[in-house]
Chains A and B, each alone.
Chain A
Amino acid sequence: AQSVTQLGSHVSVSEGALVLLRCNYSSSVPPYLFWYVQYPNQGLQLLLKYTTGATLVKGINGFEAEFKKSETSFHLTKPSAHMSDAAEYFCAVSESVGNEKLTFGTGTRLTIIP
């Protein structure tokens, strides 16, 4: 069975500082990995995804994530935080064979300090 762990339910960073949101996964087969963002009172929006190929994935709004198989991690980063980045971020995994449902982490709420 697949699972996702997001370390830190709340993260606060200063505007302009590095954003790092942690995600570790467990999967019995090669995983597909996703980051979704949920802005207040809005639906989930895909930020980026890793399926195969290059392990450093670039997404929208300046975010990127790196798939590290040896660490079973898929941490999300952004070099310089912006006030508009305040939202809840969800890491998700689906298995590449057989079961394509998404298994989500519990989410990390990102607060940007002016």
Chain B
Amino acid sequence: GAGVSQSPSNKVTEKGKDVELRCDPISGHTALYWYRQRLGQGLEFLIYFQGNSAPDKSGLPSDRFSAERTGESVSTLTIQRTQQEDSAVYLCASSVSFAGTDTQYFGPGTRLTVL
């Protein structure tokens, strides 16, 4: 079946603008995760959803970052007043449940460039 999809694939924005990044998880997956991958670095956990609830927001870098999820479907990561340090690839992943044994399936990512 279809994998995790993300849109847009690339986004170039000006400093100070708001951006919205979208993630469509695999159908039936209750857990959804957002990660950030800065150039030359590993993946950094941002937030996860169990259903449409986000129990752990500790990874969000600042209050400019927020995320929501509609039911057990689409999630949107919003970055307000973007800064140059927000430039990165934003990856979304989903898994069947939130058990640690469940494989997280990753989308292709959204490459965000803040000028």
Contacts and interface: CB of A to CB of B under 8 A. Distances in A.
Interface of A: 4, 6, 32, 36, 42-46, 49, 51, 90, 92, 94-96, 99-107
A103 B58 CA distance: 13
Which are the 5 A-B pairs with shortest beta-carbon distances?
A: A44-B106, A104-B42, A100-B100, A104-B43, A106-B42
B110 to A, nearest CB: 11
A49 B108 contact: no
Given A49-B103, A94-B100, A95-B100, A101 B42 contact: no
Contact of A105 (B42, B48, B98, B101): B42
Given A32-B100, A44-B106, A46-B103, 15 more contacts: A43-B4, A44-B43, A44-B91, A44-B93, A45-B106, A49-B101, A51-B100, A51-B101, A90-B42, A99-B56, A100-B100, A101-B45, A101-B56, A106-B41, A107-B41
Interface residues of B, number: 27
B17 to A, nearest CB: 26
B43 A32 contact: no
A21 to B, nearest CB: 14
B101 A102 contact: no
Contact of B108 (A42, A94, A96, A104): A42
A94 B107 CA distance: 19
A27 B43 CA distance: 18
Nearest to A32: B100
Contacts of B33: 101-102
B59 interface: yes
